[in-house]
Amino acid sequence: MYRTKTCGELRASDAEQIVTLAGWVHKNRKMGGMTFVDIRDRYGITQLIFSAGLCEMANKLGREYVIRVTGTVKERSNKNFNIPTGEIELEVSELTVLNVSATPPFTIEDDTDGGDDLRMKYRYLDLRRNAVRSNLELRYRMTIEVRNYLDKHGFIEVETPQLISSTPEGARDFVVPSRMNPGQFYALPQSPQTFKQLLMVSGFDRYFQIVKCFRDEDLRADRQPEFTQIDCEMSFVGQNDVLDIFEGMSKHLFKSILGIEIEEAFPRMTWHEAMKYYGSDKPDIRFGMKIVELNNILKGCGFTIFDTAAYIGGICLQGAANYTRKQLDALTDFVKRPQIGAKGLVYARVETDGVKSSVDKFYSQAVLQHMKEAFAAQPGDLILILSGDDVMKTRKQLSELRLEAGNQLGLRNKSTFACLWVTDFPLFEWSEEDQRYYAMHHPFTSPRPEDIHLLDSNPGAVRANAYDMIINGVEIGGGSIRIHESGLQNKIFRLLGFTQEKAQAQFGFLINAFRYGAPPHGGLAYGLDRWVSLFAGLESIRDCIAFPKNNSGRDVMIDAPSYIAQSQLDELNLSIVHVH
C-alpha cells in the first residue's frame, strides 16, 4: 500500500504519529516561509504543511497532482471544526509525486465552474467532486439496504438473461444482431417481466434482482436508454401481501438511509380518487390543495365558457390572495403553454369583505360564497379555476397548476417525503385511434376478482389488481397481481384483439409454462435511478448514474455509439441503409 492512513481519518488523538498519505492536491498556498497543501482522497481532506527544504518542491505541485507524503501528525493551534480532520495537520518530511496532472477544465469543487457539457465530457473529473460521488455512494448504500431487507424476507436474487427476444408490443427494443444465427436478433430486456413470472412457475417463491433494463425511447431528463430496476416477484400472495412487504422495504430504506422513521401506513388511494382530487395518477401529497369540482356551482350563471364546459374545477392557494396581477398573468401564461394547453385561467381572491374574481360580472356574491365554502377557503386565500371539454385533460391541467402553485408557495420541500400507493388502475385503455383496448400495464395483469363479470359488458370499467408506489409525485415503483389461470388469460388476450396464433407467437413460452402449474403470483419493480435521485434531492436522474448518456443517447466521454468496421458488419450479415 502506498499509504498507512486515508485523508479522512486523522484526528487529534493521532498527534505525533508518523503516517503516510496518498491522494490528490486539492489546494496549494504559500504563507510566510511555509507551504500549505490540502490533500484529498475519497475519504476526506487533510492539511499538509511543508517547511524549509520541501517548500520549493511543494510550491511546484499543481492542482490534481497525485502525491504521497510521509510526516508527523500535529495538533493544529487554529482548529477547523468544519471538517473531520480539522484538528490536525501533517508536517511533511517526505514527498513523492506519483503522477502529474494537466490543469483540469473545471474546478473540483461542490460549486464547480464547469457547465453540463464539459462535466459530461470529463465525467471522470466530475466524479471527483464530492457532490457527484456522494450520490453514487448513496446509490450503493441503497442497494445494500434493499438486499439486506429482501434477503431477510426470503427473497433470492436470480440473474435473468440480457440477450432475449424482441416483442413488438410495448416500447421499442434495443436489438443485438446474432452472428451465429444470421438475420436473427436478440433484444435487450425492457424488464425481466416474463422471466420473473417463469421463476414463479419454477417455484422460486420470492425473487428479486437489481438489474439493468433497456428501452429505445426518445429521452428526457428522467429517462436513460439503460436504467436500473429493483425487480421483485412473489408467489401465493394477494395485493395486500405485496403492498405490505414493499411498504416495509420502503420504510426500511427511509430509516436506514435517511434516518426517517415512518410509523403510519402509507395512504392507499384508488386511481379514481387520485385523478379526481389531484388530476394525476402520481399525486404529490406533501401538500393538500385538492382539486374541487365546481360544475354544480358555477354552471348556468351566464358565463358561456363555464356553461358549455364538460368540467370546471379549481384549487385553493392558502394565503395567496395577495398575488399581484403580474403573478396571476404568469400563472395564466403557465397554463396556456402548449405542454399544458389550457385556454385561460379564472381566479378569485377570498377577502374579508367578499370574494373578488376575474369573472365577477357573471357571478353573484352568493354563488362565489358557495364556491368559497366548497374549498373551505379563508380570507387571504386565492382560488384558481380551469375548465374544458375533456374532463381528464382539464384535471391534468389542474394538476400541473397545482404543482406549480405548490412550488411557488414552498410546499414541495425536497427533504420532506410523502409516500402513497395508488391502486385500482383501469385494466384497459381505449385507443380512439386504433379503436381497440390496450392493456394499461401488460396483458398478464389480473383484473380485480369482483370486476371480472364486467369483462364482457364493460371492459373499460374493469379495475386491475395493479398498484404504483408514489413518493413526492414521482412514480417510484409499480406492479400487479398477475393472471395465473389460462382460461382468464385467454379471455384477456381475446379482448386485446390477439388471435390465439398471435398470442402464441409472442408469449408462447410463458403461456406454455402456465400450463404446468403456475401458482398465484404478483410483484413489482422499482426504478432505482429515480429513487436515488429523489433521496439525493436531484433534479435529474443523471447525477446518480456514474456514466450517463445525453438526450441523443450518446456517451460524450467515450464517444459512443460509433461506426464499426465493415468486417464487423459483414460477419453479422448486415448492411447500413444510407439515409437520404
Q: Which of 50, 149, 195, 428 binds its own copies (CB under 8 A)?
A: 195
By the rule CB under 8 A, 52 interacts with its own copies: no
Q: Which of 162, 270, 295, 540 binds its own copies (CB under 8 A)?
A: 162
- Cα gap 444→263, rounded to integer Å: 34
Q: 492 near 465, Cβ under 8 Å?
A: no
By the rule CB under 8 A, 77 interacts with its own copies: no
Which residues inside 532-561 make contact with its own copies, applying CB under 8 A?
Answer: 545-547, 549, 552-555, 557-561
By the rule CB under 8 A, 352 interacts with its own copies: no
Q: Which stretch binds its own copies (CB under 8 A): 234-242, 312-320, 341-349, 447-455?
A: 234-242
Site string for its own copies, 364-403 (x = CB under 8 A): ----------------------------------------
By the rule CB under 8 A, 15 interacts with its own copies: no
Question: Left, alpha or beta for 58 (phi > 0: left; psi -120 to 50: alpha)?
Answer: alpha
Q: Which stretch binds its own copies (CB under 8 A): 193-201, 320-328, 384-392, 399-407?
A: 193-201
Contacts of residue 158, Cβ cutoff 8 Å, sequence gap at least 6: 199, 204, 207, 209
Q: Which of 28, 193, 194, 239 binds its own copies (CB under 8 A)?
A: 194
Which residues inside 90-129 make contact with its own copies, applying CB under 8 A?
Answer: 98-102, 104, 122-125, 127-128
Q: Is 210 helix (H, G, I), strand (E, B) or coil?
A: strand
Report the residue number, 236 or 430, with the smaller CB distance to its own copies. Answer: 236
Q: What angle do CA 53, 57, 60 make, to 5 degrees?
A: 145
- Cα gap 458→300, rounded to integer Å: 32
What b/e string do you get for 480-498 counting C-beta neighbours within 10 Å, with b at 16 or more?
bbbbbeeeebebbbebbeb
By the rule CB under 8 A, 526 interacts with its own copies: no
* Burial of residue 333, with CB atoms counted within 10 A of its CB: 0-12 exposed, 13-18 middle, 19 or more buried: exposed
By the rule CB under 8 A, 164 interacts with its own copies: yes
Report the residue number, 33 or 168, with the smaller CB distance to its own copies. Answer: 168
Q: Which stretch binds its own copies (CB under 8 A): 281-289, 408-416, 453-461, 570-578?
A: 570-578
Which residues inside 451-510 make contact with its own copies, applying CB under 8 A?
Answer: 484-485, 508-509
Q: Is 117 helix (H, G, I), strand (E, B) or coil?
A: helix
Bridge-based pairing state of the strands 66-75 and 44-50:
unpaired
By the rule CB under 8 A, 178 interacts with its own copies: yes
- Overall size of the chain counted in residues: 580
Strand ranges for 168-282 from DSSP E: 175-177, 185-187, 206-214, 226-235, 268-270
DSSP state of 254: I
Number of other residues whose CB lies within 10 A of the CB of residue 382: 23
Q: Which of 51, 70, 145, 225 binds its own copies (CB under 8 A)?
A: 225
| Minimal distance, residue 84 CB to its own copies, in Å | 16
By the rule CB under 8 A, 580 interacts with its own copies: no
| Minimal distance, residue 376 CB to its own copies, in Å | 42
Closest CA to 274 of 413, 423, 400, 394: 423
Report the residue number, 166 or 332, with the smaller CB distance to its own copies. Answer: 166
How many residues of this chain interact with its own copies, rule: CB under 8 A? 123
| Minimal distance, residue 556 CB to its own copies, in Å | 10
| Minimal distance, residue 346 CB to its own copies, in Å | 42
